[in-house]
């Protein structure tokens, strides 16, 4: 028999309103929504808890953290993937675009190739039905590198590449316009001394001059070949946004200034900011605060970035700040699903994929009481 689950007497988070009602899940699909507080026999009484679509995460470095929990520590990959998958499920994320850097620097750098092998291990586990949630690839294409084109050529349309972001981490621009911020980051994360930092900066600037323009062109071509959405990364100026728009980009990851975020909206580009930025009240790189963009109406999507649990927390914070919980939750459900072309999820409606979460606010923080992925309870 097909399994049936009814979540009743819940505060349903619909795209534009919240209502008291129930969700009936049959198999992998939402079969029906019903308005009212009645609890049918056999249903789960949610006692007024929020019931929302599962969260859609477009950019998380969390898998990288699991495979390398400390510098120079390579953790067993299958164990790391399973732990990453379970952690995301426990935070309400039911669809994830796993961010993997492509574009390595073999000549004495800390940036080594890993994405092709890791993604193959990920798909092997998926084929075994060992994963709790839905996974896609997000290839973070670093133009300031040596091997980007060769690494892009290792992927194809069969690899579930849903998102490709154009990254340029050349020192002195975009995320690290402030060189003192870059210096503090590299010395703190990689224990660089002064000479090593100066060598690092010089190497990246040389690589950008040698390869950057060619790599950018090839990345745009590759995204089309994969059938993937193309995103920009760390746009800072109107000119950079205009270039992004010329590439057909519809998603801007972490614009660093109000100017860039406003220009993105002028070009019809959705703006994604980091959930940790919302929670901390500012950027760890010294760039524009996500809350400032939210107040100006220039924030559309949130990404957990490096803290999975921050995604639901930040969305509810925005919902409370805006006085509109559905609007806050849309930044992590419907809007990211739409921008990457996944119309089957991100919304509570009959016929949608049964990715659903149940949570209650406790002392200003969302406490999860259940997570369902394709109708199966995973947390």
Of the candidates 19, 34, 52, 111, the residue with the CA atom closest to the CA atom of residue 316 = 52
Beta strands per DSSP E along the chain: 4-13, 18-26, 29-35, 44-45, 50-53, 55-60, 93-102, 134-142, 161-167, 229-233, 251-253, 270-274, 301-303, 356-362, 365-373, 376-377
Distance CA 115, CA 99 (A): 9
Place domain 1-53+345-379 in its CATH homologous superfamily: Urease, subunit C, domain 1 (2.30.40.10)
Judge whether residue 171 has pLDDT over 70: no
Cα→Cα distances 160→97, 139, 178, 247, Å: 9, 10, 36, 21
Q: How many C-alpha atoms does 213 have within 13 Å on its Cβ side? A: 2
Alpha-carbon span 308 to 91, nearest angstrom: 7
Which has the higher per-residue pLDDT, 122 or 184? 122
CB contact at 8 A, 309 and 368: no
CATH number of this structure's domain 55-344? 3.20.20.140
Q: Around Cβ 310, how many Cβ atoms within 10 Å?
A: 22
- The runs of H, that is alpha helices, within 98-172 are 115-127, 148-152
Q: What is the pTM of this model?
A: 0.91
Tell me which of 84 and 1 has the higher pLDDT. Answer: 84
Residue boundaries of the structural domains of the chain:
1-53+345-379, 55-344
Q: What percent of the chain has pLDDT over 70?
A: 90
Two structure tokens written together for 54: 């599962």
Check pLDDT > 60 for residue 173: no
Closest CA to 114 of 125, 98, 127, 126: 98
Average pLDDT over the chain reads 92
Average pLDDT over residues 331-348: 98
Tens-digit pLDDT profile for residues 272-281: 999 999 999 9
């Amino acid at each position: 028999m097909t399994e049936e689950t009814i979540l009743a007497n819940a505060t349903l988070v619909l795209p534009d309103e919240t209502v008291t009602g129930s969700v009936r899940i049959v198999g992998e699909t939402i079969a029906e929504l019903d308005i009212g507080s009645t609890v049918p026999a056999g249903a789960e009484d949610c006692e007024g808890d929020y019931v929302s679509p599962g969260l859609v995460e477009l950019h998380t470095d969390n898998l990288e953290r699991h495979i390398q929990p400390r510098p120079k520590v390579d953790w067993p990959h299958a164990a790391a993937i399973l732990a990453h998958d379970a952690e995301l499920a426990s935070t309400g994320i039911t669809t994830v675009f796993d961010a993997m850097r492509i574009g390595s620097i073999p000549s004495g750098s800390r940036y080594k190739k890993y994405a092709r092998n890791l993604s193959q291990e990920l798909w092997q586990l998926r084929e075994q039905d060992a994963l709790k949630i839905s996974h896609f690839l997000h290839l973070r294409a670093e133009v300031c590198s040596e091997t980007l084109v060769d690494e892009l050529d290792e992927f194809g349309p069969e690899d579930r590449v849903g998102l490709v972001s154009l990254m340029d981490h050349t020192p002195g621009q975009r995320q690290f316009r402030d060189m003192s911020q870059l210096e503090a980051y590299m010395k703190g994360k990689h224990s660089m001394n002064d000479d090593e930092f100066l060598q690092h900066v010089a190497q990246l600037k040389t690589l950008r001059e040698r390869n950057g323009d060619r790599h950018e062109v090839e990345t745009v071509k590759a995204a089309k070949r994969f059938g993937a959405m193309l995103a920009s990364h760390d746009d800072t100026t109107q000119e950079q946004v205009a270039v992004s728009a010329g590439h057909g980009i519809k998603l801007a990851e972490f614009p660093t200034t109000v100017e860039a975020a406003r220009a993105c909206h002028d070009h019809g580009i959705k703006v994604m900011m980091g959930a940790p930025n919302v929670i901390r009240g500012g950027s760890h790189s010294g760039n524009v605060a996500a809350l400032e963009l939210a107040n100006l109406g220039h924030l559309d999507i949130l990404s957990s970035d490096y803290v999975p649990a921050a995604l639901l927390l930040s969305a509810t914070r925005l919902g409370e700040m805006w006085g509109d919980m559905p609007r806050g939750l849309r930044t992590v459900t419907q809007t990211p699903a739409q921008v990457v072309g996944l119309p089957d999820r991100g919304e509570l409606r009959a016929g949608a994929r049964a990715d659903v979460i149940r949570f209650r606010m406790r002392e200003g923080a969302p406490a999860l009481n259940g997570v369902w992925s394709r109708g199966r309870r995973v947390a």
